[in-house]
Chains A and B, each alone.
Chain A
Amino acid sequence: MLSSGFKALHDEDATFREESEAARRAGGVPGAGLDAYGFALTFKSVLLEGLEVAFIVVTFGASAGQLDLAALGAGVALLVVLGVGLLLHKPLSRVPENSLKFAVGLMLSSFGTFWAAEGAGARWPGGDLAILGILSVYSLASWAYVTVLRREKRTRSSGQEVRA
């Protein structure tokens, strides 16, 4: 929907400015104990992302029988990500967010399809390499859907111009 123009592309910097302004308007009292707005905001983000990481680490660690190693890896990854984030937060804000989300969505869908079908008892031709095949098919299908939606958006826009 974003790529076809049916929805406006996200501007991460603008969102950050809006959210910062909203946080300022909420008005925390410095040095007066717990900032409820800041706590709720941070807690929601950490809960969402933290739960996701915990599920992945526990699932992979338990299935490999090496939960301690998986937890250690997750801890190291956390430190690395924190360090890289602190060092590179400026150039990272210039990474095209919408394209990044599109690519990540394709990869997650491909992995999800592979594991879900395997979990339901299906056997993929080519084993793990099938993930690349799924990714290719989904990429092609996404490109086709975006093309069709873009055409529809253009048709609608030109129709509205004619009526105006």
Chain B
Amino acid sequence: MKYLSSFVRFWVDFIIGDDRTAAVVLALVATALLSSLKLAWAVLPLFVLVFLGISLRRAALMT
């Protein structure tokens, strides 16, 4: 079981890393839901900018 969890943890870290996974999924879902609107393209960049700021802030505080 320990090996299995280490294996899963390695691949999650390898593929996702320290990204805000939930935010990425949420941004894609929001874009898909709003895709009929003309401004749907703005959702993803906005999420990226906001969550990048949050990640940087968190990392700076931990340093």
Using CB atoms and an 8 Å cutoff, list the residues of chain A in contact with chain B: 1, 4, 6-7, 109, 113, 116-117, 119-125, 130, 134, 137-138, 141, 145, 149, 152-153
Residues of B within 8 A of A123 (CB): 35, 38, 40-41
B48 at the interface (CB under 8 A from A): yes
Contact count A vs B, C-beta below 8 Å: 63
Residues of B within 8 A of A152 (CB): 60
Q: Could you tell me if A117 and B40 are in contact, using CB atoms closer than 8 angstroms?
A: yes
B32 at the interface (CB under 8 A from A): yes
Residues of B within 8 A of A134 (CB): 45
Q: Categorize the interface residue count of chain B.
A: 20 to 34
- Contacts A109-B48, A130-B41, A145-B52 given; indicate if A117 touches B31 (C-beta within 8 A): yes
Instruction: Describe A's contact surface by its main secondary structure.
Output: helix
B49 at the interface (CB under 8 A from A): yes
Residues of A within 8 A of B48 (CB): 109, 113, 138
* A21 to B38 alpha-carbon distance, docked (Å): 57
Q: Could you tell me if B59 and A6 are in contact, using CB atoms closer than 8 angstroms?
A: yes
